[in-house]
Structure 1
Amino acid sequence: MKTMILAAAALAMTASSALAADMAVKTYKAPPPVAFDPWDIAFGAGVVSDYVFRGVTQSNHKPSVTAYFEPRYNVTKDLQLYVGSAVESISFANRAAAEVDVYGGIRPTFGAFTFDFGVWGYLYPGGTCYYGAPTDTAGRLLSAECATNVLLNGNVMKKDVSFFEGFAKVNYTVSDNWAVGLNEFYSPNFLNTGAWGNYSSITAKYTAPTTVFGATGIGMYVSGEFGRQWLGTSDSFYGTGIAAAGFAGPFPNGIKYADYNTWNIGVGFTYKVFALDLRYSDSDLSKGNCNAFTSDFTAPLNGSFTNNNPGGAGSNWCGATFIAKLSADLTAMTSLK
Structure 2
Amino acid sequence: MKKLALLATALAIVSGSALAADMPVKAVKAPPPPAFDPWDIAFGGGIMSDYIFRGITQSNHKPSVTAYFEPRYNVTKDLQLYIGTSAESISFPNRAAAEVDIYGGIRPTFGAFAFDIGVWGYLYPGGTCYYGAPGIDFAGNFQGAECAEKALLNTNVIKKNLNFFEVYGKGVYTVNDNWAFGFNEYYTPSYLNSGAWGNYASITGKYTAPGTLFGSSGVGMFISGEFGRQWLGTSDSFYGTAAFPNGIKYADYNTWNLGVAFTWKVFTLDLRYYDTDLSKGNCNAFTSDFAARGNITAATGTFVTPINPTGVGSNWCSAAGVAKLSFDLTAMTNLK
Fold in common (TM above 0.5): yes
Q: Write the deviation string for residues 23-75 of structure 1: whole angstroms up to 9, x where unpaired.
A: 46152321111100000000001000000000000000000000000000000
Give the partner amino acid of 1:145: E
Give the partner amino acid of 1:322: G
Native 8 Å contact 1:134 1:143 kept in 2: no
Q: Which residue of 2 aligns with 1:126?
A: 126
Match runs of 1:16-165 below 5 Å: 16=16, 19-20=19-20, 23=23, 25-136=25-136, 141-165=142-166
Under a length normalisation based on structure 2, what TM-score does the superposition of the two structures give? 0.91
Under a length normalisation based on structure 1, what TM-score does the superposition of the two structures give? 0.91
Q: Which residue of 1 aligns with 2:189?
A: 188
Q: Write the deviation string for residues 253-282 of structure 1: whole angstroms up to 9, x where unpaired.
A: 100000000000000000000000000000
Matched, 1:208 2:209: yes
Give the partner amino acid of 1:237: F
Q: Which residue of 2 aligns with 1:281?
A: 274
Q: Write the deviation string for residues 136-195 of structure 1: whole angstroms up to 9, x where unpaired.
A: 369885310001110111100000100000000010001100000010000001100000
**C-alpha distance in 1, partners of 2:154/2:115?**
44
SS at match of 1:334: helix
Which segments of 5 or more consecutive residues in structure 1 lack a partner in the other structure? 1-7, 243-248
**C-alpha distance in 1, partners of 2:64/2:209?**
29
**C-alpha distance in 2, partners of 1:138/1:225?**
39
Q: 1:37 to 1:134 in 2, by over 3 A?
A: same
The runs of 4+ residues in structure 1 deviating greater than 6 Å are 11-14, 137-140
**C-alpha distance in 2, partners of 1:293/1:140?**
21
**C-alpha distance in 1, partners of 2:47/2:56?**
17
SS at match of 1:131: coil
Give the partner amino acid of 2:198: G
SS at match of 1:230: strand
Give the partner amino acid of 2:264: Y
Shift of 1:81: 0.2
Shift of 1:15: 5.5
Native 8 Å contact 2:139 2:237 kept in 1: no
Shift of 1:135: 3.7
Aligned-CA RMSD value: 1.9
SS at match of 1:333: helix
**C-alpha distance in 2, partners of 1:254/1:311?**
15
Native 8 Å contact 1:134 1:142 kept in 2: no
Shift of 1:14: 11
Give the partner amino acid of 1:164: F
Native 8 Å contact 2:239 2:247 kept in 1: yes
1:270 to 263, 267, 275: 263
**C-alpha distance in 2, partners of 1:250/1:260?**
22
Q: Which residue of 1 aligns with 2:3?
A: none
Q: Which residue of 1 aligns with 2:223?
A: 222
Matched, 1:257 2:250: yes
SS at match of 2:153: coil
**C-alpha distance in 2, partners of 1:38/1:86?**
22
Q: 1:235 to 1:268 in 2, by over 3 A?
A: same
**C-alpha distance in 1, partners of 2:187/2:143?**
31
**C-alpha distance in 2, partners of 1:193/1:330?**
36
Native 8 Å contact 1:48 1:64 kept in 2: yes
Shift of 1:308: 0.4
Corresponding residue pairs, total: 320
SS at match of 2:116: strand
Shift of 1:307: 0.5
Q: Which residue of 2 aligns with 1:5?
A: none
Native 8 Å contact 2:201 2:230 kept in 1: yes
